[in-house]
Amino acid sequence: MRLDRFLSNSLRMTRSVACAIIKEKRVKVNGVIIRKKDFKIDEIKDVIEFDDKRVEYRCFVYYILNKPKGVVSARIDNIDKTVVDLIDTDYKISPIGRLDKDTTGLLLLSNDGSLIHALTSPLNDIKKIYLVECDRDLSEEEMFLFENGIEIKDGDDQLFRTKKANIKKIKDYIYEVEISEGKFHQVKRMFNYFNSSVINLRRLKFANIKLDASLNEGEYRELTDAEVILLKRQCNLLDKK
Ligand code: URA
């Protein structure tokens, strides 16, 4: 890996700041000051120091993306642009769960396999909140059924009963829905069950992470350390406090 990339990844600094500290002779590789930003290092074996302090390689990265329409929730795709293509990173990240190509909103991505597994395991009942625009309003009775479980098909065309959900009418044709499952087209199929079609779907919350108002569609940022700790606690990868 290039030295400037190692520094920007490990110290969460921009590439230009990484280049600047190299130029200022503040970076050593195996005890020798290096002034070339594209100097190749082995991030596992080499000892890198910045101002004489060892810099450890950061193994895991975590991103929050405001997914736009038209990109698929995959690592690679032969036809469409993927959510991973939108993120400039040196790490081999994957989306945590999926959003349909025409769904927008909060999607987390990481290379931390244990966290990805925990957040997508049905055993952990991770809650997701969606803003739904549909073409037919649901009656009070239909909303009651929506919350208490209906039979719809999953991605393998097998009937299943949805778990308890919450639905709140925001205004005509607009609902906020909370579910703790992530079956194929689940929200769309739940509305279809009541002869209502979903026109727009946006995820607002995943686990305890909310979509930032500051992120426009297509924009992303790294999660803060505090957010990563919250996520890990939520799926019992760290002790709850
Ligand atoms: N439910 C859907 O129908 N689609 C999504 O993208 C997410 C949840």
pLDDT of 239 reads: 72
Here the tokens at position 241 are 């406090």
Q: Answer yes or no: are the C-beta atoms of 99 and 184 closer than 8 Å.
A: no
Residue 238 has pLDDT above 90, yes or no: no
Ligand 1 atom closest to 102 (CA): 6
Give the domains, in start order, of the chain with CATH numbers.
3-54 (3.10.290.10), 62-122+216-234 (3.30.70.580), 127-206 (3.30.70.1560)
**pTM (2 d.p.):** 0.92
Report residue 225's pLDDT band, with 50, 70 and 90 as the boundaries: very high
> What are the φ/ψ torsions at residue 3 (nearest 5 degrees)?
-60, -40
Residue 235 has pLDDT above 90, yes or no: no
Report residue 104's pLDDT band, with 50, 70 and 90 as the boundaries: very high
| Amino acid, single-letter form, for residue 208 | N
Q: Is the CB–ligand 1 distance for residue 201 below 6 Å?
A: yes
Q: Is the CB–ligand 1 distance for residue 99 below 6 Å?
A: yes
pLDDT averaged over every residue in the chain? 96
Question: 96 alpha carbon to ligand 1 midpoint, in Å?
Answer: 14
Beta partners for residue 168, in sequence order: 176
Question: 152 alpha carbon to ligand 1 midpoint, in Å?
Answer: 14
Spatial CA neighbour of 180 closest among 125, 237, 236, 102 = 125
Q: Is the CB–ligand 1 distance for residue 69 below 6 Å?
A: no
Q: Is the CB–ligand 1 distance for residue 100 below 6 Å?
A: yes
Residue nearest to atom 3 of ligand 1 (CA): 185
Q: d(Cα 226, Cα 115) in Å, to the nearest integer? A: 15
Q: Is the CB–ligand 1 distance for residue 188 below 6 Å?
A: yes
Which residues, including other chains, have CB under 8 Å from residue 49's CB and lie 6 or more apart? 27, 28, 31, 55
Q: What is the arithmetic mean of pLDDT over 82-111?
A: 97
Q: Which of 187, 191, 193 to mutate to test the pocket of ligand 1 (most atoms within 8 A of CB)?
A: 187
pLDDT of 241 reads: 58
Residue 1 has pLDDT above 70, yes or no: yes
Spatial CA neighbour of 2 closest among 17, 19, 24 = 19
Q: Per residue in 67-96, pLDDT tens?
A: 999 999 999 999 999 999 999 998 999 999
Report residue 240's pLDDT band, with 50, 70 and 90 as the boundaries: low
Residue 233 has pLDDT above 70, yes or no: yes
Q: Per residue in 132-180, pLDDT tens?
A: 999 999 999 999 999 999 999 999 999 999 999 999 999 999 999 999 9
Residue 41 has pLDDT above 80, yes or no: yes
